[in-house]
Amino acid sequence: MGSPLCHFEFMSNNPEKCKRFYGSVLGWEFDDRPFPGYTMIKTGSKPGGGLMKRPDQAPAACMCVYFQVDDIPATLEKVKDAGGTVVVEETEIPGVGWFAIATDPEEISFGIFKGR
C-alpha cells in the first residue's frame, strides 16, 4: 500500500532553540552523534525525525516530510509527469540509503527515501 511517511526534518534558523522548544513542548529527545551537523529526533515512536541548520539555498525555515519509496528515479519521473519539480536529485546518505526532494504543483516540498 502506497508510500508511508518514514521521516520528518526541520531546517531551522536556530537548531538549539528548535531543540529546546520541541523538547519542552513534546518531550522529544535529540542525538547529535550520528552525522555531524545533523541531529536525529527521537519522538518515542516511528517515524523519527531530523534537525539541521537551514541551508542557505532554502528560502525559509521549514519542515519537510519524507515518504518511503522502492525506486527513487521512477518516483521522480512520476513527480515530473504529474506537474511537480525535482529540487534535489537522488543523493546517497552513506550507510543509510538515498533521498531526493521535490515539490508538488503548488510548490509544497516533500522528500522521498529508499533505505539500503
Query: Which of helix, strand or coil describes residue 17?
Result: helix
d(CA 23, CA 43): 9
The helix or strand, by DSSP H or E, that contains position 84, with its residue range, turns out to be none
CATH 3.10.180.10 fits 9-63, yes or no: yes
Cell triple for 83: 506537474
pLDDT at 59 over 80: no
The model's confidence at residue 33, banded by pLDDT at 50, 70 and 90, is: confident
User: What's the whole-model pTM score?
Assistant: 0.87
**What digits encode the pLDDT tens for the residues 3-29?**
999 999 999 999 999 999 999 999 999
Could you name the CATH architecture of 69-116?
Answer: Roll (3.10)
CATH 3.10.180.10, the chain: domain bounds: 9-63, 69-116
**Residue 74 corresponds to which cell in the numbers above?**
521512477
Q: How many CB atoms lie within 10 A of CB 17?
A: 10
1: pLDDT confidence band, cut at 50, 70 and 90?
low
CA 57 to chain centroid: 15
Cα angle 81-96-90, degrees, rounded to a multiple of 5: 25
